[in-house]
Structure 1
Amino acid sequence: MSLKITEISVQETYNLRHQVMWPNKPQSYIQLKEDSQGIHFGLWKDSNIISVVSLFIKNDSVQFRKLATKVSEQGQGYGTLLLEHLIAFVLDKKLNKLWCNARADKTFFYERFGMLKTSKTYTKGGIDFVIMEKCF
């Protein structure tokens, strides 16, 4: 088994985003109007993309969105590998903040990387979210 993380096209993120995040919505629901400005990464296991994430840089801050790992591959550390890759990217680019809109029931995952909950929350599609951030 070989694992690698590469930059991918936004179109390569759509199927996995859809399957994992909002399978009962149309695929257009997981597409972002700013996708064309993002940097998209895929984690490959052999020849299959099993985890994806999209980055959006604004000034000295980076938001990551749509972190999704194939359901059958969850819990095996692949999301961790992608998030570690993002943190290294932020440090390499000398950016000051990494942040995300985390599903409230997944905050424990991001806290393991030193990300902190902010007071900003919202609900979308019946799911509660909290904005989390890590400053460098």
Structure 2
Amino acid sequence: MNNSLDVVQIRRITAEQTVPLRHSVLWPDFPASHVLLADDAAGLHLGAFIPSEDTPVAVVSVFKESIPSSNTEEGGEPLPAARFRKLACDPAHRRRGIGSKLLEHMFNIAREELGCDVVWCDARVETQGWYERKGMRPFGEIFYKDNLPYIRMRRP
């Protein structure tokens, strides 16, 4: 039997190609400009595609960015870090492993291409368990963005 994930293709996309999914999934009650990032031009953007869709069904953007105030080893040297942002999966395609495959692909790119030992993000508290199942651990205190609780997560 074929694994449905075998048909998922992860490929690089433009920042502009991430916007419709970022907007509809993450901040639908705000204008689309709310999901644009000032550093989008410096990021690496990935999309997960399936044969029946012309547009990505999941997206993520990754940037070389240090972890705020805690990105050091025992000796005090900063660790090279990558931050991913705006991970979004079309609700019609959730629970199929597509987001997990995209996240793993992004972890590999952060390590192999960006040379980063640590990957981190600001995650909505409601998604913390999902990220923990992917090997990420929370750090820092809960904080809020537009009245939604967030926690920082990292994976070495």
Q: Tell me the secondary structure at the aligned position of residue 130 of structure 2.
A: helix
Deviation track 1:16-73 (CA, whole Å, cap 9, x = no partner) reads: 0000001110000011111111000000011331000000013621000000001111
Tell me the C-alpha RMSD between the 2 structures.
Answer: 1.4
Higher deviation after alignment, 84-93 or 17-26: 84-93
Structure 1 position 61 matched with structure 2 position 66:
no
Q: Who is 2:132 aligned against? A: 111
Of 13, 34, 39 in structure 2, the residue corresponding to residue 34 of structure 1 is: 39
| Aligned-residue offset at 1:87 | 1.6
Q: Who is 1:48 aligned against? A: 55
Higher strand fraction (1 or 2): 1
Computing the radius of gyration over CA atoms, which structure comes out larger, 1 or 2?
2
Q: Tell me the secondary structure at the aligned position of residue 122 of structure 2.
A: strand
Higher deviation after alignment, 87-96 or 70-79: 87-96
Q: Distance in 1 between matches of 2:55 and 2:41?
A: 23
After TM superposition, the score normalised by the length of structure 1 is: 0.93
Give 5+ residue unaligned stretches, structure 1.
none
Q: Distance in 1 between matches of 2:33 and 2:106?
A: 25
> What percent of counterpart residues are identical?
31
Q: Distance in 2 between matches of 1:33 and 1:103?
A: 20
Give the AA of the match of 1:37: A
Deviation track 1:94-133 (CA, whole Å, cap 9, x = no partner) reads: 3111000000010111111221100233101121000000
Q: Distance in 1 between matches of 2:36 and 2:111?
A: 27
